[in-house]
Amino acid sequence: MTDTLLSVRDFSVVYDVDPPVQAVRDVSLDLKRGEILGLAGESGCGKTTLAYGVQRLLKAPAVITNGRVVFHDASGEDIDVNALDADEMRRFRWDKVSMVFQGAMNSLNPVATIGAQLDDVFEVHRPGMSKGERRAAVVELLEIVKVGAQRYRSYPHELSGGMRQRVMIAMALALRPQLMVMDEPTTALDVLVQREILKQISALRHEFGFSVVFITHDLPLLLEISDRIAIMRDGRIVELATAERIWNDPQDAYTKTLLESFPRLTGEKGMVLR
């Protein structure tokens, strides 16, 4: 079995508007098994479009114009994602690859309990499970993400923002995917809750062995949690290296600019991170 989980080659996306916008330009990268790959860059650089595109989640006017995406399944099968039909794609998503969407903590159904919403994942994707088995699986998930089984009958408005985000992580984790894509998962959370969520993600990654693509504009955060970091600018990856290399020896001028854009918490005015 190869150490590579996902291979992306010459991937391009255009938004078919007037004039057309080239959102992702000939991106190639490999994601390793069990690693956290950070995807950083300013707003509009194409990082979310890339993540959605490799999962075929993009909608019009976005058009994938070029590229190949291959998922190297743990079973040894190489899955050409672009070649999957609609039914195969529905089975592939959540089972092999799951997604925590930007603003996901506010996307829970307000009139359904937390337990019912997690139960739906198993009812749809694991139709052979009995009602009792589904309930047990949901309770286990709530315990794993430290929400607690007592929240099974709670509604989203009864949970804090951090707890709702943990529920969304539980939903993404439900079918034990090999890859979890997280788009700004700690946005709008305070610093202490953000820290707890990041520790949770890291612990779950170590426990279950899945890979993570973590998308954010917050480069200092990625330096702390990522194994490798890809820096995007204008739809291209301008630098891809270990977090240590990005911090100690950035090669691209844009990477250096990003690092210098974050002020120190202490020191004289005008001092920068580096």
Task: Provide the domain limits for residue 172.
Answer: 4-260
Beta bridge partners of 62: 15
DSSP string, 147-169: S-GGGTT--GGGS-HHHHHHHHH
Residue 220: CATH number of its domain: 3.40.50.300
pLDDT given for residue 2 in this prediction: 77
**CA 266/CA 268 separation, integer angstroms:** 7
Query: Is residue 16 domain-resident?
Result: yes
Query: Is residue 103 domain-resident?
Result: yes
Report the pLDDT averaged over residues 126-140: 96
* Cβ count within 10 A of residue 17: 9
Number of domains in the chain: 1
**CA 74/CA 1 separation, integer angstroms:** 7
Q: What count of Cα atoms within 13 Å lies in the side-chain half-sphere of residue 124?
A: 15
Query: Is residue 271 domain-resident?
Result: no
pLDDT given for residue 192 in this prediction: 85
Q: Give the pLDDT band (50/70/90) at residue 28.
A: very high
Query: Is residue 267 domain-resident?
Result: no
Closest residue by Cα to residue 118 from 101, 140, 90:
140
Question: Under 8 Å CB-to-CB from 182, ≥6 apart: which residues?
Answer: 99, 100, 201, 212, 213, 214, 215
Query: Is residue 77 domain-resident?
Result: yes
**CA 208/CA 32 separation, integer angstroms:** 15
Q: Is the dihedral of CA 245, 248, 251, 255 positive or negative?
A: positive
pLDDT given for residue 270 in this prediction: 55
What percent of the chain is modeled with pLDDT above 90?
78
Mean pLDDT, all residues of the chain:
91
pLDDT in tens, 182-206: 998 887 778 888 888 888 899 999 9
Closest residue by Cα to residue 41 from 28, 24, 58:
24
The yes-or-no verdict on residue 273 having pLDDT over 80 is: no
Query: Is residue 274 domain-resident?
Result: no
Question: Under 8 Å CB-to-CB from 257, ≥6 apart: which residues?
Answer: none
Q: What count of Cα atoms within 13 Å lies in the side-chain half-sphere of residue 72?
A: 14
Contact 212, 182 (CB under 8 A): yes
pLDDT in tens, 36-64: 999 999 989 999 999 999 999 999 999 99
pTM of the prediction? 0.91
